[in-house]
Structure 1
Amino acid sequence: MIKSKRWLMACLVLASCGFTATTSPEASLKKVFKNDFLMGAALNGKQASGKDPEATAIITQHFNTISPENVLKWEAIHPQPEKYNFGPADAYVAFGRQHNMFTVGHTLVWHSQTPDWVFEDAHGKAAGKALLQQRMAEHINTVAGRYKGQIGGWDVVNEALNDDGTLRQSKWYTIIGEDYLAQAYQLARKADPKAELYYNDYNLWKPAKREGALRLVRSLQAKGLKVDGIGMQGHWGLESPSIAQIEESIVAFSKVGKVMITELDIDVLPNPSNRNGADIDATFAFDEKYNVYTNGLPEEVQQKLARRYADIFALFHKHREKIARVTFWGVTDADSWLNNWPIKGRTSYPLLFDRTYQPKPALDAVLKSVSKSSSSQ
């Protein structure tokens, strides 16, 4: 018996005995990490409206916070100048309220998935500074104001930085100037003073971009603006970034506010040009050599994915006092945006549940990662 227990502990620490896809019906991510951080998933429109009961079962069992994949992005909720489409967003917020979940708003100001008319005048030419400022104010007042007291935290500005840490030359920047950032946070705070306000971006493990995010948040905070924390998008691969690189950013960002791990998924497929991050404009034509697991994920890769998740969550547990929330970008592999990025039509496997709503070995790995973390400290 003693030998058996020692062997089990060694397996947990080294993940050398492999992970299984079977978990007890009582197993729950939100219960395992209840004293550490919130556990979340991004919902698509069907899930947010309660029309995917199998997904609802997973969501309510495992998660206590939700993010919207698309329903609160500008093109979805405000498609035309005088038209708002509140139905899907209302359903999303109602889902969170019904299940007593911390509900995240994503996102108020972003260069992508924002209709062209936002940046144009009545004649189709580039909008002037005053007009774009007016539109930003009206949008934030209307959307954040509508869900005042119902959305707990907003990704106010999303992906405003280049990988070298400089500000992205988006239309927000080129028309309004750098001050658009401060204005966005000022407007969001006025619309809902009690909501937490975040900055969210990808590739924040890169040193130059990390420093750029720190400069940005500190400069906003120095102006007296409310920025409660930084969302580190976890669009990572099986080997990159390293655990050390992720850890360096968690520690650095904890010095300016809360740290959120957002949009977590692990891409197991080969990537054209070895691209990383989440620039949705960086797409490629379909090529079978980048779609190699159409008939299912080989067991060797399943275990590699599980070990990767085990290592990542052991790190998160180590820094649980710094991390407020960990959110997966999707519920099952079938929902993942990685099926269509950077190449449309791929069969991707980045999450903890497969296309039939069944747990993968990666779920077992995450549930056991607390023991792994505790044993290594």
Structure 2
Amino acid sequence: MAGRVTVEDVARRAGVSTATVSRAVNGTARVAQETLDRVRAAIDELGFHPTPAAQNLRQQRTRNIALVVPTITNPFFPELVAGVTPEIARRGCSLLLISTGDPEVEAVRVAGSRLVDGVLLVGSMERTGATPRARHVEVPVVAFDRAPSTIRTTVVQCDNVAGARDVVAHLAELGHRDIAHLRGPRGLDVADQRARGHRRALLERGLDPRSGGELEGDFSEESGYAAALRLLDGRSRPTALFAANDMMAIGALAALRARGVRVPEDIAVAGFDGIRLGRYLHPTLTTYAQPIAAIAQRAVGLVLDAVDAQTTSTPGPGRRAPQVLTLPGDLVVGGSTSPAPS
């Protein structure tokens, strides 16, 4: 066709309205597959590709990646978003951030919307012991941090067992023998892994895992505050507390301060995650810092490799069977831990 090809030309060739062509090109609404195929064929025949959106349509790509998280009130997740964004941009894609109470349901919904090429997912708080409800997802999915309970996919996470073991070993090396554990919800993989690391560190040193006690929270600072109060009201008081995430540790610090308990002189406190906020507490928080940037970079690479493999129909990293990839973090010693009281 002579001259510059327009949207109107594509619409006439495909036998649809210009609005339908726009919706098909931009992915702003569902378009019937038969109609989408006609629009795509018209674009190819006429050579209409003046914009990235049109080129993506010809390649069956949107160049959008969704990141679905259960909350943005926990500072760990905004830091995860910050880790994801540069790698997404470097690969020429845009990020769609979704915060929802049921991330696995939302991941399935957005995957079927044709608005995204792939999904990065932080699994829900659903317990792994529950009966799985397998969900079909139409685009590649890679999970961070928590393993999904209803979607079978590759998971990239910190080595939670080794990290918790390092934290508790640090406390034991300071002379603490009664080390309580404020764990996350039972049945949640990351919570169970960190509880396993706590127990392993104590057993390796001939210490009784039951001596310090175990309390359960939900990873929020409110649950850490309430658990610390229960700990103080118990029959015996441990000399150290390992919280399964930094937010519960921060809540525990507030409760101890409210009761006049000194940290670390009376009770040492340590967390897990390495969120930035912990550096500005008084005392600063001892924690196990997750390698957030490395986890984000690895997960983004995996999901985009899977998108490329799906688009080109050629074998590649995206075709590998689901697996759990663990990356090591670092023990960061702050002012909240010190030798056990004599």
**Structure of higher RCO (CA pairs closer than 8 Å, 6+ residues apart):** 1
Structure exhibiting the larger radius of gyration computed from Cα positions: 2
- Taking structure 2 as the reference length, the TM-score comes to 0.28
- Taking structure 1 as the reference length, the TM-score comes to 0.26
